Structure 1
Amino acid sequence: MQHIPRPEVTGFYDRRTGSIQYVVADPETRDCVIIDPVLDYDEKAGRTWTENADRILGYISEMGYRVQWILDTHPHADHFSAAPYLKERTEAPMATGSYVTRVQKLWAGIYNWPDFPQDGRQWDHLFQDGEEFMLGSIPARVMHSPGHTLASITFVIGDAAFIHDTIFQPDTGTARADFPGGSSEALWHSIQGIMALPDDTRLFTGHDYEQGGRPARWESTVAEQRQTNTHLSVYKTMAEFTAARDRRDATLPMPRLILSALQVNINGGRLPEPEANGTRYLKIPLNALGGVPADEI
């Protein structure tokens, strides 16, 4: 039986957004990557800060790791990426999937930004579907996993796969597919690709919402998901899955930060440039998205 290297995986949970950020390391070489880091943002006060990113940096320093990459699985709709901040402090390159250019084109239209660069130049590297790289001595590869977004990718690093929002914990199900560019059919095919990994592959999801009041979780396996996921264990065909997914999505409001976050994240996590008075401003297009009204006060 072929030995598959086992990276050290440490998750950092952000309760404000339900996001999990990862430091993935080769225990032998001490090289690591950071996946999906969060820049803290209070939308009510319009305030940003770096508590999450600084916690990650402190852990990396404590462990004596060297950062090889700062990775985002896709342009997130519910938090700002902290990749530029971490690049500034570690000098590690930023990367995401090459299909981010499709998301840039889509959202540049929504924001009415005809001059916005839509070629992915905001990142140091764009990974192609199937591209391979090394984390220290551990082989890694990239899988294009669209459906939740056009650009979503999965990072397979040794025996671990970072599956972003494609599949949640087994008691929660799967990702919504109703964002601009989303597709429940594409999501089904992406899930099949992940389920084709070896049964004992560790799966690390991008969010957890503490289902039923339980503590946050973010690790499972392919076998566990196949057998007990509340969607995958019930909806066995694409037709059944897409019908159920589309019904569920039709009842959901848009994430509260989607219009704020996408304009930052399609720009590689960079905040808008300061205007003449030194203040940065977000642009919110009115009536641009569907979804049911949110019930938050």
Structure 2
Amino acid sequence: MTPQIQAFFDAATSTVTYVVYDADGGDCAVIDSVLDYDPKSGRTSTRSADLVVDFVRAHGLRTAWLLETHAHADHLSGASYLQQELGGPIAIGAEIRTVQNAFSHVYNCKDGHNLDGSRFDHLFAADEEFRIGALQARALHVPGHTPADIAYQVGDAVFVGDTMFMPDVGTARCDFPGGSASTLYKSVQRLLALPPETRLFMCHDYPPAQREARWEVTVAEQRAANIHIRDGVGEREFVDMRTARDATLQMPVLILPAIQVNISAGHLPEPEDNGVRYLKIPLNAI
């Protein structure tokens, strides 16, 4: 069965959220949702997530899953808010525990829930199969960007997270804790071994000035034209390129608030005795 797919592009973070569903009135999964956050004022809003809520309700969909491809460093997850509005379990790859532990010293985590994955409702084992209503799906473990990255294969579509970007943008950085350019190369090769007509859906697009944002491409197009990892690019060449490039990149603007929230399944810190929630911004820790 061919999945129905609706994309929502958040220009502020260049993130694409997807609603994947079997049919109107059926079941859906929401992949990589966004909670709007203004780092200057510290204000959050649910504008982006409410677009998803409105779509799900307008099409009479039941929310079977709220899926995260990994713990994002560039936006805050809207999964907790969507769960309040739409229901459905929040799920991520089981290696999120590795990421939680890697960042535990950064945030001085003392809450065991932020170390054992239990803030998430389900942790996918590598290549675990699951269903979205009538749709058969599989959680492909594709580490490299982080140890926990998952690509979700649903019919002829694969939601690749941050393994790859559009062909003229290339691939994701590998210099976060637990990242590995060599591992990413192997993960991408696994995706590029899928049938040429397989549709790949990006989590982000950072388009060159001459084009608008896009997020769908085929395996064949990636193999022919990806500037970092097209056919003919070997592992050593890729690792050397990725390592040199990563050394020039600045930290993402939202990494400190984003990782803090996203390793907690999108749950914001509890309010303190004055009714205000506080995020930690560690100094000189990364």
| Structure 2 length-normalised TM | 0.97
Shift of 1:87: 0.6
Residues 233-270 of structure 1: per-residue CA shift (max 9 Å, x gap): 27611000000011111110010110111111111111
Cα contact 1:29–1:137 (8 A) shared by 2: no
- 1-structure distance, mates of 2:231, 2:190: 18
* Conserved 8 A contact 1:227-1:233: yes
- The counterpart of 1:196, out of the listed 186, 190, 193, is 193
Query: What amino acid is the match of 1:22?
Result: Y
1:108 — aligned with what?
A: 104
The answer (yes or no) to whether the contact 2:24–2:61 under 8 Å persists in 1 is: no
The aligned runs of 1:52-131 (5 Å cut-off) are 52-117=48-113, 118-131=115-128
Using the TM superposition, give the Cα deviation of residue 29 of structure 1 relative to its aligned residue in structure 2, in angstroms: 6.3
Partner of 1:160 in structure 2?
Answer: 157
Cα 1:198–1:225 change in 2 (3 A) is same
CA distance in 2, matches of 1:176, 1:234: 20
Q: Which of 33, 58, 69 pairs up with 2:29?
A: 33
Q: What is the DSSP-based 3-state SS (H/G/I as helix, E as strand, rest coil) of the residue aligned with 2:35?
A: strand
Structure 2 residue identity aligned to 1:140? A
What is the CA-CA distance between 1:28 and the residue it aligns to? 7.0
Is it true that 1:267 corresponds to 2:274 in the alignment? no
Report the CA distance between 1:52 and its aligned residue.
Answer: 0.6
Note the C-alpha offset of 1:179. Answer: 1.1
- What do the CA deviations read for 1:69-126 (whole angstroms, capped 9, x no partner)? 1111111101110111111111211111111010111111221224442111101111
Distance 1:222 1:242 in 2: 21
CA–CA separation in structure 1 for the residues paired with 2:120 and 2:210: 38
- Residue ranges of structure 1 left out of the alignment (5+ in a row): 290-297
Q: Which amino acid aligns with 2:77?
A: S
Change (3 A) 1:284 1:116: farther
Code of the residue aligned with 2:102 in structure 1: it is L
Change (3 A) 1:158 1:28: farther
Which aligned runs of 4 or more in structure 1 are off by greater than 3 angstroms?
none
Distance in 2 (alpha carbons) for counterparts of 1:93 and 1:282: 24
- Cα distance in 1 between the residues matched to 2:172 and 2:190: 15
Q: Does 1:225 align with 2:227?
A: no
1:13 pairs, out of 6, 9, 22, with: 9
Matches of 1:130 and 1:179, distance apart in 2 = 23
Question: In structure 1, what is the Cα distance between the partners aligned to 2:200 and 2:231?
Answer: 20
Q: Which 5+ residue runs of structure 2 have no aligned equivalent?
A: none
With over 3 angstroms needed to count, the CA separation of the structure-2 counterparts of 1:271 and 1:213, relative to structure 1, is: farther
| Distance change in 2, residues 1:103/1:201 (3 Å) | same
